[in-house]
Chains A and B, each alone.
Chain A
């Protein structure tokens, strides 16, 4: 009995002394930290994709709490989540329009002229060898640098051409930075009509090396409801993303090279192997 009592008292005493030391230390070396940062971090999607421009979700949460960033800067979070974060912190935030990536090239292996390439299977490395050994200086090399960079597996390489699946893309922009030919752009998700060509060369020069190049024949401009909906940039036509055409434009135009496509149908492979 005595032993039990003695041990209990001894243990309690030891515990008390050590607790006192730790308590003093905790007060003396206290670190200020905002508990809201952790809560906001949990409310974010947690993909750590960097689409917001910060190092990761925790870093972004810190920026939101400090007021340097807005919850809607996160391209991945659905509108409801961003609104909840804004509500929790008692701030206002306007929802940004959802953006998706588009690879502006339709030059797959079957429709382009290429030289055999043997080297590192990576676009940024291949571009250092004869510009990528593709007939068109501006086209997609299809060696999957963008597909590997995408944290959401939204890019597929089909027949040597990178194709974005818009339903999987969240608009984080990682692919835009990686492409050595600057082929990828972020566009509003609501626009479905795009010109899948990025070469400023003359139409006749382009056609020699690619069957689906845009030859700037202007049929799409004539077929559009409003001529402003498609813009001309030298020997290349582009969708005007500030005043975009409706999705029926592709059908109405009948583009002679199938450079004008609907993103959804392009992703589904409906234009593969079609060339005139």
Chain B
């Protein structure tokens, strides 16, 4: 591991805006009367529902079991009764199946597994099974099942475990506060993950705008053979491929995964979820989310349970002092705009962001002026200008040739475009069309 971090090519420097919530310690959200837990909270297959209307559940009880290898179980956020199996608005705008639990007020634990007291000597396979049983997914926002990441095939040997504490998105401070307040758990999680992968060490990458978090982590890191590396502040430093390059100098090939260069990357919050699952015997039912934005009265960081409606989250933040124009789940660069306040918090909801009218980007269909700013800032080294022209002309074959599938949808190009072209949306469209065409080809 090198001591000085490498700078990846490209990237942008949007205004941090983290001061709104960076110094707010994490508050536990009060127990709600009802939680509407969305069933499908991971990339891959949705879990299979086990409970039915009327069933009584304890906190942490199994609601749905994994339906395949790339699927994770779902657990109850509190004790109570299942009052409905219905639909609720999902984060991508379409209604999704959900389980409604009415709390009984007791909040009594009923976890399906026990703490593993002697995890330092446990079998890595058992530890990994615990990660799966606890329903841990990538909590940086992707929601990819963690146990799958920890199961590389034998022909792809792993030699580096990286913990992602970069939190490069503006406004978001959830991971920052987690690293500051729960440094011990983060490092513990790293140690457990390292044991699962058969490694002796791990490295935590943190952007240099979180010096206090770096200090806090360094204090406890040495106890578990974990190193902490500061990273240059550059969006999207927290993107897997860019993080791997900065810490190891290795380039993940286009279309490849981190395991192709011997690395596994996990978010710091996922590491804490792993530590909770192994050491405390608790499934993944809550997470820290930053509720922020200029229109809010009290922006800050809260620990929400899954199934908490966004409307309740905004209430806790004191409501709005000025009418916002946009509500995003996630950060301003890659977050999803919402059209309903009835969406509920999921395992990968890192932020709830309100944006005032004067800061909202108005996209236009102005022509590309060939300034090249997007090409300079693209961290994946593709040509946003040419690809977006191809997409405008519905030439998805040309877009595929230009490697649009390598795009990580970070939004840097849309951010810098002087013509305010909706570049990120063009690439989402291109990817959707190319994948649909490939599926059609396969089914023929």
Contacts and interface: CB of A to CB of B under 8 A. Distances in A.
Contact, chains A and B (beta carbon distance below 8 A): yes
Nearest to A128: B428
B425 A119 contact: yes
A124 B429 contact: yes
Contacts of B362: 118
Contacts of A131: 92-94
A201 B95 CA distance: 10
B365 A120 contact: yes
Contacts of A118: 360, 362-363
Contact of B422 (A119, A124, A137): A119
Nearest to B433: A124
Interface string B66-98: 000000000000000000000000001111000
Contact of A128 (B95, B338, B429): B429
A125 B425 CA distance: 7
Interface string B268-307: 0000000000000000000000000000000000000000
Contacts of B429: 120, 122, 124-125, 128
B363 A119 contact: yes
A109 to B, nearest CB: 15
Contacts of B433: 124
B257 interface: no
B426 interface: yes
A232 to B, nearest CB: 21
Interface in A111-127: 115, 118-122, 124-125
Given A120-B425, A120-B429, A124-B433, A129 B365 contact: no
Contacts of A63: none
A3 interface: no
Interface string A117-155: 011111011001111110101000000000000000000
Interface string B418-430: 0000100110110
A192 B336 CA distance: 41
B129 interface: no
A130 B336 contact: yes
Contacts of B225: none
Contacts of A124: 429, 432-433
B337 interface: yes
Interface in B311-363: 336-339, 360, 362-363
Contacts of B95: 137, 201
B432 A133 contact: no
Select the residue from A121, A124, A130, A132 with max chain B CB neighbours within 10 A: A130
Given A128-B432, A129-B93, A120 B426 contact: yes
Tell me whether chain A's interface is mostly helix, strand or loop, or mixed. Answer: loop
Contacts of B338: 130
B354 to A, nearest CB: 15
Contacts of B336: 130
A131 B94 CA distance: 6
Interface residues of A, number: 17
Contact of A132 (B93, B360, B363, B422): B93
A212 B133 CA distance: 46
Select the residue from B338, B428, B429 with max chain A CB neighbours within 10 A: B429
B197 to A, nearest CB: 35
A118 B362 CA distance: 7
A201 B428 CA distance: 28
Contacts of B426: 120, 125
A42 to B, nearest CB: 30
Given A118-B362, A120-B422, A121-B365, A130 B337 contact: yes
Contact of B92 (A115, A120, A130): A130
B86 to A, nearest CB: 10
B56 to A, nearest CB: 27
A170 to B, nearest CB: 22
Contacts of B93: 129-133, 137
B88 to A, nearest CB: 11
B339 A133 contact: yes
Contacts of A130: 92-93, 336-339
Contacts of B363: 118-120
Contacts of A115: 339
A228 B94 CA distance: 33
B94 A129 contact: no
A118 B424 CA distance: 13
A172 B363 CA distance: 34
Contacts of B337: 129-130, 133
A128 B425 contact: yes
A133 B336 CA distance: 12
Contacts of A133: 93, 337, 339
Nearest to A125: B429
Interface in A206-237: none
A119 B365 CA distance: 9
A118 B429 CA distance: 15
Select the residue from A129, A133, A135 with max chain B CB neighbours within 10 A: A129
B428 A137 contact: no
Contacts of A125: 425-426, 428-429
Nearest to B430: A125
A135 B94 CA distance: 9
Nearest to A130: B93
Contact of B425 (A129, A132, A135, A137): A129
A128 B337 CA distance: 11
A120 B422 CA distance: 7
A115 B338 CA distance: 9
Contacts of B428: 125, 128
18 contacts: A115-B339, A118-B360, A118-B363, A121-B365, A124-B429, A128-B428, A128-B429, A130-B336, A130-B337, A130-B338, A131-B92, A131-B93, A132-B93, A133-B337, A135-B339, A137-B93, A137-B94, A201-B95
Interface of B: 92-95, 336-339, 360, 362-363, 365, 422, 425-426, 428-429, 432-433
- Pick the 7 closest A-B CB pairs, nearest first: A131-B93, A130-B93, A115-B339, A131-B94, A125-B429, A128-B428, A130-B339
Given A118-B363, A122-B429, A201-B95, 13 more contacts: A118-B360, A119-B422, A120-B365, A124-B429, A124-B432, A124-B433, A125-B426, A128-B428, A129-B425, A131-B92, A131-B93, A133-B339, A137-B94
